[in-house]
Amino acid sequence: MASSLPSPSLLLSTARRKPSSIAASTAVPQTKDTMRIPPEFDFKGYMLTKAATVNRALDLAVPLADPRRIHEAMRYSLLAGGKRVRPILCVASCELVGGSEAFAIPPALAVEMIHTMSLIHDDLPCMDDDDLRRGKPTCHRVFGEAIAVLAGDALLSLAFHILSNPNSYPSSPSPPSSLIVRSISELAFCVGSEGLVAGQVVDIESTGVSESVPIDRLEYIHLHKTAVLLEASVVLGAIIGGGSDSQVEKLRRYARCIGLLFQVVDDILDVTKSSQELGKTAGKDLVSDKTTYPKLIGLEKSREFAEELNHEAKQQLEEFDSEKAAPLVHLANYIAYRQK
Amino acid sequence: MASSLPSPSLLLSTARRKPSSIAASTAVPQTKDTMRIPPEFDFKGYMLTKAATVNRALDLAVPLADPRRIHEAMRYSLLAGGKRVRPILCVASCELVGGSEAFAIPPALAVEMIHTMSLIHDDLPCMDDDDLRRGKPTCHRVFGEAIAVLAGDALLSLAFHILSNPNSYPSSPSPPSSLIVRSISELAFCVGSEGLVAGQVVDIESTGVSESVPIDRLEYIHLHKTAVLLEASVVLGAIIGGGSDSQVEKLRRYARCIGLLFQVVDDILDVTKSSQELGKTAGKDLVSDKTTYPKLIGLEKSREFAEELNHEAKQQLEEFDSEKAAPLVHLANYIAYRQK
């Protein structure tokens, strides 16, 4: 799977067109792409409804059982707010290929749990040593390092338990076991030593070194730290929704574009916004000598690159029914034009 | 699953018979139970052959890919020797219910990866702060804390990837997807906040406290830290091997007995053996004020308890063909009478 990721240079080569204007107040200039949004689609309402469904399901998935402290820590980080972009992508992708929301909830919860687990572990003192996450003190600052490590481990295994537990799905009809196995395989691969973990390892190795980090290494980090899980979110939804192989691959390409887009915008926001606005320690990437897009290719070129990725993502949706594809079109814009 | 574990008092109540003699050189007195071993069964040869098969498969399952350092760390801990008790239990259980060794290899590797991951994380400075494991410096002592946390995460997800990847199994016949999903659900549950993680949390909470730890709490720790993964090893083998529900449940009870047995013997060895003999820091549990069976009920009563558990484990195998059950009978003895 990692071997079939588009090469970084291929992705970069799409950043060739010049935007007509640069809006300094947003991370990415809003060009003609934004005109594609069907005006009748209530994106804000869609996001609020889906996020509420996801939040209710997350709340139920991690009851305050014994031992109490570990469940408190899991709930603290999992229910800390977040934008729920990954689970909503999962649900939107499942519904796009004709699956029901109920089928998409287990994989949607699983990807959010994996995401939260990676944040908890990445924030640890031995890694990025972050004090603030989603506007609140990080898990290890509240519960201590040992519980933070274990909360991450527990969320990681809970993700696979939810995916594999027959009680997670509607009983009739329920998704075929073969699709569940395929989705578990996708998710497991994306977390491991060729996915999220690989991205974090290369990120750590690239931090604080004296020579500058080349662009292909930066893209490797982002593809693995961010894009693989966004990809898994979209792909798991498409698999569990019963999408055809060609639909799954189209959506995989869409997800890879918005995956890189997500990180580029994150880097831009880190330079242009304050800590208070972001809910995390802003400018930290620059202070701690982390390689970012603005540092490497400048702020303007970073914005251009983001716009191209957004354009390419939407191209993948052209063969789908435009009304049904509206949520994913809007989600790409949301990622491109978000303010935090 | 955790809710249906036998109550600690039920398990403890089996420790009522007096052994006829105490052999000070072994953890557990060898009584008439040892006479049940069919003399024609070459247990040593069986263990060596199975361990070699498991080691070859583990070696192939974690190639030295990029990023190199994380794969070095995973291989360092995974291939550090170990007795391979869990994967061999998995294979033996699968073969007992009529499954092939090839079917049992993926779950066998998965349980060993989960075991190694839990050792790596438990050894971290923020947890047990151990320097020595399997006779070698611990993962974080060699690769640093960040890589050790990530190596654990990677092994955890690799376990689920191996279980869910169709390429892990023989292509024809291959195990039904429904059995794979069931085995993933079992394993995921046993790692999480009601399994291994729960055991470690309560262990941490019980360390260094001034009041003495009651026996039910000690058993909770051991059932969750040790027994659940031995249970998963046996149960996963039985499921993938196509065992009936009643066979799976018999083997589950066998596994719960040897699970607690394993920990009681571990505690006894920790008091009676030197660090050099054990390959880990001996007596550390006493020094760091950890609750152990010898500390709580004395060395002799601990040995009696171990013998009873061994006896009860073997009772679960009585309905199986005695020749086919020989490996599991011997494995129970091996756990009871091991020297390290």
Whole-number pLDDT of residue B134: 83
Contacts for B4 with CB less than 8 Å, ≥ 6 apart: none
Task: Write down the H helix ranges in B144-244.
Answer: 145-164, 177-191, 196-206, 215-222, 228-240
Sign of CA dihedral B14, B18, B24, B28: negative
- What is the mean predicted confidence (pLDDT) over B42-64? 96
- A1 and chain B in contact, CB less than 8 A: no
Query: Phi and psi at residue B132, in whole multiples of 5°?
Result: -130, 135
In order along its 340 residues, chain A shows pLDDT tens digits of 333 333 333 343 333 333 333 233 455 555 544 445 555 799 999 999 999 999 999 999 999 999 999 999 999 999 998 889 999 999 999 999 999 999 999 999 999 999 999 999 999 999 999 999 988 999 999 999 999 999 999 999 999 999 999 999 988 888 999 999 999 999 999 999 999 999 999 999 988 776 778 888 888 998 898 899 999 999 999 999 999 999 999 999 999 999 999 989 988 998 887 655 656 555 555 445 667 888 888 999 999 999 999 999 999 999 999 999 999 999 999 999 887 7
Residue A13 maps to a domain: no
Residue B29 maps to a domain: no
CA nearest A153: which of A59, A77, A65?
A77
- A336 and chain B in contact, CB less than 8 A: no
Question: Token pair 């016949």 is at which residue?
Answer: B173
What is the C-alpha to C-alpha distance for residues B183 and B99, in angstroms, rounded to an integer? 14
A contact residues 30-89, partner B, Cβ 8 Å cutoff: 65-67, 69-71, 74
Whole-number pLDDT of residue B1: 35
Contact criterion met (CB below 8 Å) for A237 and A319: no
User: Which residues make beta-bridge pairs with A137?
Assistant: A132
From chain A, the residues in CB contact with B156 under 8 A are 153, 156-157
What is the C-alpha to C-alpha distance for residues A251 and A329, in angstroms, rounded to an integer? 12
- State which H helix or E strand residue B136 sits in: strand B136-137
Residue A264 maps to a domain: yes
Peptide bond into A173 cis (omega under 30): yes
- A204 and chain B in contact, CB less than 8 A: yes
Distances (CA, A) of A51 to A62, A85, A247: 17, 8, 25
Whole-number pLDDT of residue B167: 94
* In the predicted structure, residue B22 carries a pLDDT above the cut 70: no
Contacts for A328 with CB less than 8 Å, ≥ 6 apart: A89, A92, A93, A96, A234, A254, A317
Residue B304 maps to a domain: yes
- Whether A166 and B181 lie within 8 Å, measured CB to CB: yes
- Whether A69 and B205 lie within 8 Å, measured CB to CB: yes
Whole-number pLDDT of residue B23: 33
CA nearest A226: which of A122, A311, A104, A128?
A122
Residue A96 maps to a domain: yes
Q: Summarize pLDDT for B240-287 with one digit per residue, the tens.
A: 999 999 999 999 999 999 999 998 998 899 888 765 565 655 555 544
The token duo for B319 is 């309905």
The type of residue at A89 is L
From chain B, the residues in CB contact with A194 under 8 A are 65
The token duo for B141 is 């002592």
pLDDT band at B34 (very low <50, low <70, confident <90, very high): very low
Whole-number pLDDT of residue B282: 53
Cα-only R_g, chain B: 19
Q: Summarize pLDDT for B301-332 with one digit per residue, the tens.
A: 999 999 999 999 999 999 999 999 999 999 99
Q: Summarize pLDDT for B118-142 with one digit per residue, the tens.
A: 999 999 999 999 999 988 999 999 9
CATH of the domain at B243: 1.10.600.10
Answer yes or no: is the ipTM higher than 0.85: yes
Whole-number pLDDT of residue B42: 95
What is the C-alpha to C-alpha distance for residues B298 and B177, in angstroms, rounded to an integer? 48
Distances (CA, A) of B16 to A149, B9, B89, B298: 40, 12, 28, 15
B contact residues 110-139, partner A, Cβ 8 Å cutoff: 117, 121, 124, 126-127
Whole-number pLDDT of residue B284: 55
DSSP per-residue letters across B29-81: ---GGGGGS-TT--HHHHHHHHHHHHHHHHHHHS---SSHHHHHHHHHHHTS-
Whole-number pLDDT of residue A275: 57
Q: How many domains does chain B have?
A: 1
What is the C-alpha to C-alpha distance for residues A102 and A95, in angstroms, rounded to an integer? 10
Residue A23 maps to a domain: no
Residue A157, domain extent: 41-337
Residue A106 maps to a domain: yes
Residue B10 maps to a domain: no
Whole-number pLDDT of residue B12: 38
Query: Phi and psi at residue A136, in whole multiples of 5°?
Result: -130, 160
Per DSSP bridges, beta strands A132-133 and A136-137 are antiparallel
